Structure 1
Amino acid sequence: MRLRLSPAAALSLALLTVSSASAQVGGNLAATLVQPALSSFKASGNLLTDASSGATITLTPKGSYLASADLRLPGGDPVQAGKLLNALTGQDFAQGLSDFLKRPDVQAKLPQGLSVAAETFDLKVQQQPDQSLTLAVSLHQLAGFGAVPSTRILGDPAAPIVVRMYSDLQCPYCQKAELEAVPTVIRNLKPQKDVRFEFHPFPLEQLHPNARPAAEAAACAEKQGKFWAFKDALFRRADWQGMANPSVIFQSLAVSVGAKLQPYRDCMADRGGKQSVDEGLAEAVRLGLNATPTVYVNGYRVSNPYDAASYQALIEFVRAK
């Protein structure tokens, strides 16, 4: 059985706002082994054993990274489970997991086992017949992404490692990511021939009334091969965001980046960018996304989209053998 936490429970169970580079699952395997919470465990290959409690942790490496971990706690102590998960994820699971496991509805399901979606991580929890508690933790990997046209791809369109950014052109947090992290991420693409960067429009119309018009204007600029230049120019200024009708600024920016005026005007008049934006929104809804910017590397979520190192850490994790 798979259980998705309520917003309140998810918040208490996982505070997932730090860089993936700091997490142990998905991060450096050697860093995991020196966590203080694991100091009582003795290693034999990929098996860690605590002689006093009988608890074991089986690590699954991926090159020099930790892909996943399986815990077995003979006493079924939820507090110990939370502390060990803290060490294995770099997140604060301890109190949230303990509270979660004490819930009557969860206890009723534990003998059959259940899966918990906690944003960046997937947890599988089960109470065994001998009353021991087993947990498995791995990075959550989203699937089912749609294709985007080559005009919204940087790098080799056939590259196997894909950075997918779902963004709202009026979102101040997207602007922050674009100005602080994306330039470095894009700059690093050139020597990394196996990585491509995709932009997926996700205008949050309820929050940002100019997000859709901006996205449609970008799609019209895209028809003339000017998407990236238009998008970058738009993120470099904010004066249009509170305007009742920013179309004059959109048109000026389109021309300034090299788009021909009349084809752009015709596209906007005919709402030639609407279908592209509708498709982006439909995909985001289908994937269950609810915030921007949301960024994935081959389905693994970049938990700090404002830090270029977070992108690179997941790229290296995906690349590892």
Structure 2
Amino acid sequence: MNGQLFIASYEKADMNRRIQGIKKPENSPGEKNRIFRGLIGLLVCVGLLMINPGSGQAVVEDDVRVLREDMEQVKKDLAEIKSILQSAIKRPSPEKSTGTVGVTGGAMLGETDAPVTIVEFSDYQCPFCQRYSLTVFPVLKREYIDTGKVRYVFRDFPLSSIHPQAGKAHESAHCAGEFHKYWEMHDALFQNQKDLTVPSLKQYAADLGLDSTTFETCLDSGKYQADIQQDVDDGAAAGIRGTPSFFIGKSGSGDSITGTIIRGAQPLAKFQTIIEQLFSDHGSDAGGVSPESDESPPARLP
């Protein structure tokens, strides 16, 4: 009787727990099965976690190794490139303040027996050359060249890599020289420097009264290209790297002069100082005087 009452009481309590959402005691068979299955699942997850981190770490270590190898190769490549560049780049020698240059082949103004000679290396498309030609040169011409004190020689030095129209402009001056109009074309080219196309060069020749057919045949033939290149080579050999550049020295009986080098479009006073000193310094064997520092750099090749 007492046993039946106990069982009835337990079933009633169990019913109340179900109604109230209260779980069975943990030691119930169903609960034990669920706990057991959960533990098995947990162990499986832990096992997977223990396996996967190892695999991920191996992948990361492999990636790091590859990156290190790539970095080492990059370092080697950079070192090789640096070595090649260092061997290829040559430090330019200091620019000379005096030098020797030929006077033949260029267009000349003044008396051949003038005591002082100026040799100019110029580029018709160079803005510094234009500034010198329009400002300083006319004064030198009036005061020294036209008075028989200075012989002036103009030599070609087109910087074709940065002034693509300069080459043909220099050719046009030589073609005009066949009509004894070299210096007139020289002036026209600097006055119209912004337009040095071939059609314009032909128009400038026509404006000077040159025979169009003969001039155009000369310009189109390229007959003076070799002479112009010879001037460039001579200038480079004499230490010229940019335009305008000048040699000012005592005239001699030979085909060259040794004198002071002026680089860039310098003020008139610099030219006057050197010229006047050459007139008075008859005992000097140097053929030139030391110029002041450049105030305006010449146009240069890159």
Q: TM-score, normalised by structure 1?
A: 0.53
Separation (CA, whole Å) in 1 of partners of 2:264 and 2:123: 17
| Structure whose CA Rg is larger | 2
Structure 2 equivalent of residue 179 of structure 1: 134
What is the identity, as a one-letter code, of the residue corresponding to 2:204?
Answer: L
Q: What does residue range 95-134 of structure 1 map to in structure 2 within 5 Å?
A: 117=94, 119-120=96-97
SS of residue in 2 equivalent to 1:289? coil
State which of 210, 232, 241 in structure 2 corresponds to 1:281: 232
Structure 2 contact 124–193 (Cα < 8 Å) conserved: no
Sort the Cα spacing of 1:191 and 1:272 in 2 relative to 1 into closer, same or farther, 3 A: closer
Sort the Cα spacing of 1:291 and 1:253 in 2 relative to 1 into closer, same or farther, 3 A: same
Shift of 1:312: 1.4
Shift of 1:190: 4.7
Structure 2 residue 163 is the aligned partner of structure 1 residue 208: yes
Aligned-pair identity in percent equals: 25
Shift of 1:203: 0.2
Structure 2 residue 267 is the aligned partner of structure 1 residue 312: no
Structure 2 equivalent of residue 18 of structure 1: none
- Bigger helix fraction: 2
Structure 2 residue 254 is the aligned partner of structure 1 residue 254: no
- Bigger strand fraction: 1
Structure 1 contact 226–258 (Cα < 8 Å) conserved: no
* Cα RMSD, aligned residues only: 2.1
Structure 1 contact 164–198 (Cα < 8 Å) conserved: yes
SS of residue in 2 equivalent to 1:147? coil
State which of 110, 128, 151 in structure 2 corresponds to 1:155: 110
Separation (CA, whole Å) in 2 of partners of 1:146 and 1:195: 13
Structure 2 residue 152 is the aligned partner of structure 1 residue 197: yes
Separation (CA, whole Å) in 2 of partners of 1:165 and 1:236: 18
**CA offset digits 1:220-261 (Å, max 9, x no partner):** 1112111111110111123315xxxx1110001012123221
Separation (CA, whole Å) in 2 of partners of 1:273 and 1:153: 17
Separation (CA, whole Å) in 2 of partners of 1:202 and 1:304: 13
Separation (CA, whole Å) in 2 of partners of 1:216 and 1:191: 26
Sort the Cα spacing of 1:294 and 1:153 in 2 relative to 1 into closer, same or farther, 3 A: same
What is the identity, as a one-letter code, of the residue corresponding to 2:183?
Answer: W
Separation (CA, whole Å) in 1 of partners of 2:267 and 2:204: 28
Sort the Cα spacing of 1:144 and 1:231 in 2 relative to 1 into closer, same or farther, 3 A: closer
Separation (CA, whole Å) in 1 of partners of 2:95 and 2:166: 29
Structure 2 residue 225 is the aligned partner of structure 1 residue 268: no
Structure 2 contact 157–231 (Cα < 8 Å) conserved: yes
Separation (CA, whole Å) in 1 of partners of 2:223 and 2:199: 17
Q: TM-score, normalised by structure 2?
A: 0.56
Sort the Cα spacing of 1:251 and 1:203 in 2 relative to 1 into closer, same or farther, 3 A: same
Structure 1 contact 176–306 (Cα < 8 Å) conserved: no
What is the identity, as a one-letter code, of the residue corresponding to 1:272?
Answer: K
Sort the Cα spacing of 1:148 and 1:213 in 2 relative to 1 into closer, same or farther, 3 A: same
Structure 1 contact 156–196 (Cα < 8 Å) conserved: yes
Sort the Cα spacing of 1:118 and 1:294 in 2 relative to 1 into closer, same or farther, 3 A: closer
Q: What does residue range 89-100 of structure 1 map to in structure 2 within 5 Å?
A: none
Sort the Cα spacing of 1:247 and 1:304 in 2 relative to 1 into closer, same or farther, 3 A: closer
Structure 2 equivalent of residue 234 of structure 1: 189
